[in-house]
Amino acid sequence: MSTFRNLLSFVLLFSFPSPLLFAQNVDPSKRPLAQQTPATNAAGKTYIFEQSRGNGGEIQQIATGGQPALTTQQGIPISDNQNSLKLGDRGPTLLEDFKLREKLFHFDHERIPERVVHARGFGVHGYFENYESLSDVTSADLFQRAGEKTPAFVRFSTVAGSKGSPDLARDVRGFAVKLYTRQGNWDLVGNNIPVFFIQDAIKFPDLIHAAKPEPDRGFPQAQTAHDNFWDFISLTPESMHMVMWIMSDRAIPRSFRFMEGFGVHTFRLVNEDGKSTFVKFHWKPMQGLQSVTWNEAVKINGADPDYHRRDLWSAIESGNHPQWELGLQLFDDDFADNFDFDILDATKIIPEELVPVRPVGRLVLNRRVDNFFAETEQVAFCTQNIPPGIDFSNDPLLQGRNFSYLDTQLKRLGSPNFTHLPINAPQCPVSHFQQDGHMAMKNPKGRVNYEPNSWQVGPRAKPKKAFQSFPSDDVGTKRRIRTETFSDHYSQARQFYISQTAIEQQHIADALVFELSKVETVPIRVRMVSHLVNIDKDLAVKVALGLGLSDMPQPAEAARPTRDDLKPSPALSILKNGPKSFAGRTVGILVSDGFDVDQLQALLKAIKDEGASAKIVAPQVGLVKASNDKPFKADEKIDGGPSVLFDAVALLVTDEAAKGLAGDIATRDFVSDAIAHRKFIAYTAAAKSLLEMTPGLQPKQDQWVAIDQAQGIDDFITRCRGLRVWNADELESDPAKQ
């Protein structure tokens, strides 16, 4: 009770804030440059970390208390490990930054033979079809002709886990698209989340080191629920927007087919006249959005760790080809200069309500690979691969990726000739003088391998229709700096949270409690909650209660106060953007010997007409005897096909079978999980006793649908279009917080 009283007092205090509680909301220039914070580690030893405010207002750790200074591998002391060397406040990253290059180079070569990140992936072939000419904004060849189809290869992946990790780890999903255009390969290497943890590429090795299994023990695998990750995150305020996304249901998608993709960074489109337009790339699933719950994710990983891979394979095999629309957010320099946040900051989004997403084409995935290793494993994506008409911005995270990806592929695939591999080779003419080297599969012939030459041999540079960088006017002093426009770390995190429905907000709170409960060092938990106070006070209280904290921490020091004027963005919620049909989903149908075959056939027809599929689950895998005494093939045994693998379930069993199944643990789990996960359940009169065998687990209104009559089947399919049985109040977020 004392713990709850303490938290309640803080809730009241938040309702009537005092000057002391929100004393951090002061002019950043008047704050002290350094702050020492004592804490206690798991061993009970007191340690001190010192925070210093950088030139752009970001909070940095610096060595103190006898800690050695950070150096390069050559022993050269490092002044700043948070910012790469740039030209001016917002200019491009400079190639002379040897610290950045050394750090990324070493990181790129850490893992043999699998990828350092995105090791677990699944690739498929398809095509991109252009809706209309975009010649007004870009000279990129693939966007010039309506209806033209460009070959594509897409690799989906998790980030943190190894190749053997399960598909439904709570993680970011990679969404990498290789388009084989007439003017060379374009690699749009994105994620299913539009923002990232960090603002500068120099911090990427530290982020991944913190997220990966702890190096002294090699676990936990494919999860961030441990001290190292949350220690790094809690000391990196710029990560708070991304924290909201990864703790949301976006990090546990139902399928690759039901998640969005984003280019993350701001790019440029350049037209034939040299005019530049800024662009953000979006992939919108035409199947709608859908995620699973955490309890489902845990159980799916046990029942089928290849769940996402199998789903995509089966969808293409059945002819249910997944599709996404490519959408562009287009804006000019005036908008960029006047937007509330910096468009070069990869931890920020541009809300769709401010700049609508313009659909320009569709991506269709229609062919599986012939050889997983030759294609999915050997495909090499490089963010630097862009055709004429597309160009980079000065986003410091993107500029670092342009260096790192090429270096990674050189190491992973063994040679600069990885472009000779069929999956990486352009499907357009290639002319250059680069030859020889390890594993060269083809080489030019003759005496000339340089340009210019007097022999009239080989290619020549031709400026027309060739790639030319946009001539941006970048001037300034060379400095390691984080511009002040990057310093608001909490406002968009808050906007994301208040844009969620009430049930989605609860899932975020539950995820934070679960993750932080695995953190053994209490000060790290406290420090993380102090950041949540800046995002949403009610969220902070929920997490503090869940962690059993006796006192609510003061809000973390903020470089800029959290803005409370940002409106909810409906586009950020999964449940507000759900599908309009049940197409592409799967129904698990539990049957027993003697089931009504006519009833089953009617249900299967309705499911097929909706564009969905079905799996037959039975007490024993193989043949089941139908009511007409004919054998019927079952796809799964009950304990091998639990209800978590399906989007909805149906129970078609006889009275006698229901009595026997009532005592079967696997059957009880099948039914109780379907009820608990709020899935729609079709049942026959004989099967109703199975629904009533779980005392204390009450169904939601209209969750059970009787299908003894034909109208019942139609009703079941109609309800399934809503996917789950959420209460009306759970589909609305709290207006008081908006």
627 pLDDT exceeds 90? no
pLDDT band, very low/low/confident/very high, at 5 (cuts 50, 70, 90): very low
Residue length of the chain: 738
C-alpha pair distances (Å), 634 with each of 317, 626, 674: 19, 11, 20
Confidence of residue 54 (pLDDT cuts 50, 70, 90): low
Q: How many domains does the chain have?
A: 2
Q: What are phi and psi of 288, to 5 degrees?
A: 90, 170
Query: Per-residue pLDDT averaged across 648-652, rounded?
Result: 97
The answer on pLDDT for 49 being more than 60 is no
Mean pLDDT, range 483-503, rounded to an integer: 97
The pLDDT of residue 470: 87
Task: Sort 175 into a burial class: Cβ within 10 Å, 0-12 / 13-18 / 19+.
Answer: buried
Mean pLDDT, range 616-620, rounded to an integer: 92
Using CA atoms, how far apart are residues 315 and 583, in angstroms rounded to an integer? 11
In a domain, 477, yes or no: no
- pTM of the model as a whole: 0.87
Distances (CA, A) of 137 to 123, 326, 596: 31, 15, 60
> Does residue 25 sit within a domain?
no
**Residue numbers of the domain that contains 315:** 102-420
Q: Is residue 447 part of a domain?
A: no
Mean pLDDT calculated for residue range 100-120:
83
Average pLDDT, the chain: 88
Q: What is the CATH number of the domain that holds 142?
A: 2.40.180.10
Look at residues 576, 510, 559, 564 and name the one whose alpha carbon lies nearest to residue 537: 564
Catalytic residue among 83, 130, 185, 191: 191
Please tell me the predicted confidence (pLDDT) of residue 31: 38
Lowest model confidence (mean pLDDT) among 272-276, 284-288, 310-314, 632-636: 632-636
Strand order through the sheet with 648-652? 636-637, 613-618, 586-591, 648-652, 681-683, 704-706
Q: How far is CA 538 from the centre of its chain?
A: 25
Distance CA(335)–CA(343), nearest Å, equals 10
Strand partners, 434: none
pLDDT average, residue stretch 409-425: 89
φ, ψ at 512 (rounded to 5°): -65, -40
Is the CB of residue 151 less than 8 Å from the CB of residue 127?
yes
End of a domain among 420, 445, 472?
Answer: 420
From 83, 118, 265, 489, the catalytic residue: 118
pLDDT of 236 > 50? The answer is yes
Q: Which residue has the higher pLDDT, 569 or 628?
A: 569
Does 31 reside within a domain?
no
- Judged against a pLDDT cut of 50, whether residue 27 lies above it is answered with no
Q: Is residue 464 part of a domain?
A: no
Confidence tier at 517 by pLDDT (50, 70, 90): very high
Name, of 410-414, 475-479, 603-607, the range with top average pLDDT.
603-607
| pLDDT tier at 536, thresholds 50, 70, 90 | very high
pLDDT in tens, 12-21: 444 433 333 3
pLDDT digits (tens, 9 = 90+) for 125-153: 999 999 999 999 999 999 999 999 999 99
> How far apart, in whole angstroms, are the C-alpha atoms of residue 221 and residue 86?
36
Query: Which of 408-422, 586-600, 660-674, 712-726 comes out lowest in average pLDDT?
Result: 408-422
pLDDT for residue 38: 47
Q: Does 25 qualify as catalytic in the annotation?
A: no
Q: What is the pLDDT of residue 434?
A: 83
Active site residue 438: no
523 neighbors 48 (Cβ within 8 angstroms) = no
Residue 436 lies in a domain: no
Side-chain half-sphere CA neighbours of 224 within 13 A: 24
Return the percentage of the chain with pLDDT > 90, whole number. Answer: 67
Tell me whether residue 168 is in a domain: yes
Q: Is the pLDDT of residue 190 over 90?
A: yes
Residue 611: left (phi > 0), alpha (psi -120 to 50), or beta? left
Query: Mean pLDDT over residues 398-423, rounded?
Result: 89
Average pLDDT of the segment spanning 616-633: 88
Domain boundary among 371, 387, 420: 420
Residue 14: per-residue pLDDT: 43
The position carrying tokens 């690739």 is 123
Residue 16 lies in a domain: no
Q: What is the CATH number of the domain that holds 680?
A: 3.40.50.880
- The CA R_g of the chain, rounded to the nearest whole Å, is 28
Does residue 10 register a pLDDT over 60? no
Q: What is the mean pLDDT of residues 29-34?
A: 38
Place of tokens 């490089």: 382
In the chain, the largest separation of any two C-alpha atoms, in whole Å, equals 91
Estimate to the nearest angstrom the gap between the alpha carbon of 104 and the chain centroid: 22
What is the C-alpha separation between 223 and 247, in angstroms, rounded? 12
Of the three residues 385, 420, 455, the one that is the final residue of a domain is 420
CA distance 330 to 362: 18
- Alpha-carbon span 270 to 136, nearest angstrom: 9
Band of residue 713 on the pLDDT scale cut at 50, 70, 90: very high
Query: By mean pLDDT, which of 319-323, 348-352, 595-599 is the weakest?
Result: 595-599
442 — pLDDT class (breaks 50, 70, 90): confident
